[in-house]
Amino acid sequence: MLTIDFLDDENYSSDLEKEDIESLLNYSYEFLKQSEDAEVSISFVSEDEIKEINRDYRNKDEVTDVISFAFLDDENDDIEIPGMPVTLGDIIINTNRAKEQAEEYGHSYKRELMFLSLHGFLHLLGYDHMTKADEKEMFGLQKEILNAFGITRD
């Protein structure tokens, strides 16, 4: 089972959007045949907040749409406390940028928000797009999961 903690002090996202994201990520977790209990946090932030995070942690002084911070990596992927869920990490979404991109790409805000959530989630599970082969795998998987879940480019 996947538990998701939402952090949204400024109410950038609705309860329905959070429920949709939670359903998609739980579906994705099962789709990827993950069986251990895990938890993820998702924060919704402004352009200024994500720019600051991007600058401070990634040395990129620019606004972006989503950032993920995986807790597990090669150094600490064997950290496990019996009876406790594995903490996968944090996903931070800039809802303003998501709205802009939805309009730019010609699909719904819901679709963009779901895409960004899944994209960040796959990063927490170790997927990346640093090489062409990795990009093809990750983006193909995103499309496959979204389509199977019923989220298309509408």
Confidence of residue 13 (pLDDT cuts 50, 70, 90): confident
Lookup: tokens for 120: 């960040």
Lookup: tokens for 122: 């796959």
CATH of domain 2-149: 3.40.390.30
Lookup: tokens for 124: 């927490």
Distance separating alpha carbons of residues 145 and 139, to the nearest angstrom? 10
Does the annotation place 107 within a ligand binding site?
Answer: no
Distance separating alpha carbons of residues 46 and 50, to the nearest angstrom? 6
Does the annotation place 119 within a ligand binding site?
Answer: yes
Of 115 and 34, the one with more pLDDT: 115
Average pLDDT over residues 93-107: 94
Q: Which residues contact 58 (CB under 8 A, 6 or more apart)?
A: 67
The pLDDT of residue 8 is 87
Confidence of residue 35 (pLDDT cuts 50, 70, 90): confident
Q: Domain locations in the chain?
A: 2-149
Confidence of residue 148 (pLDDT cuts 50, 70, 90): very high
The alpha carbon of 57 is separated from its chain's Cα centroid by a whole number of angstroms, namely 17
Task: Compute φ and ψ for 95, nearest 5 degrees.
Answer: -70, -30
